[in-house]
Amino acid sequence: MDSAVTSFSPARRIGAVNWLGVYTLYTKEVQRFTKLAAQTVFSPAVTGLLFLAVFSLAFGRSLETVGDVPYLVFLAPGLVIMAVIQNAFANTSSTLIISKLQGNIVDVLMPPLSPGELVFGFALGGATRGVFVAAVTIAAMAIFVPLEVHSLAAIIFFIVATALALSLLGLMVGVWADKFDNIAFISNFAITPLAFLSGTFYSVERLPKLWRTISDLDPFFYMIDGFRYGFIGHADGSVAVGVVVLVVLNAALWFGCYVMFARGYKLKA
């Protein structure tokens, strides 16, 4: 009996951070979308190419440039960020609402993971999907549009910061939502309109003064504008302000998600 008892492995020491638990949760979230890559990664790239084709055919030669930049070169980065916004948000919001509706959210809450570790695992998984979508979409568009890199640092920062922000926002909405209709409402009436109306298809410098001021208050504008700057070397707003806005936005969303998980808001019976 004594030998049987001593044969057991000692209990694993977790330490200050449960890195194994966070990695496992992150891996689960990544595998959720990689197993359906045709739908979750490659489909957004095809959608971006369709937008590119439609605008190219619709405008023809009536709008060849925006400033000194060919219109398609101006348009492509906006379409990439729009895809990142939609897919990073969808990843975390869907995983939370599905777990809640199926009743298996307890499988995530029971392991020895702190609220911060849960937020980190979920958010990083959603951000990873956003980055994957961006990489595939850029590669697809580069076949048809002569994209040049002006600032690789800006491209990387604004992709990662945008993907993380929308992943965190999706996490908050997923915790708050009681059904898929709630998520669809936020996506259709907030996320998509803000993505479309923040300079994705046009330069905000052409807007009337009032709408230009409103754009300056929209964080989605800084996501698109900063990322586009990384390719064309021109920004309608301040890139430095955009960096600050996204850092503050990510911090605020992270704190909101942490509080939700710490309190078990709509997660614990």
Is the model's pTM score more than 0.95?
A: no
Average pLDDT (5-9) is 48
Cα–Cα distance measured from residue 48 to residue 146, given in angstroms and rounded to the nearest whole number: 16
Split at pLDDT 50, 70, 90, the class of 58 is: confident
Most confident of 70-79, 134-143, 259-268: 134-143
Percent of the chain with pLDDT over 90: 68
243 pLDDT more than 50: yes
pLDDT of residue 161: 98
Amino acid 6: pLDDT: 47
Compute the half-sphere exposure of residue 41: CA atoms within 13 Å on the CB side of its CA.
18
- Asked whether 62 and 154 are in contact (CB, 8 A), the reply is no
- Give Cα 117 distance to the centre of its chain: 19
Domain range list for the chain:
15-263
- CA-based torsion, 22, 27, 28, 30: positive or negative: positive
Mean pLDDT of 206-210: 83
pLDDT in tens, 68-102: 888 889 999 999 999 999 999 999 999 999 999 99
- Amino acid sitting at position 93: S
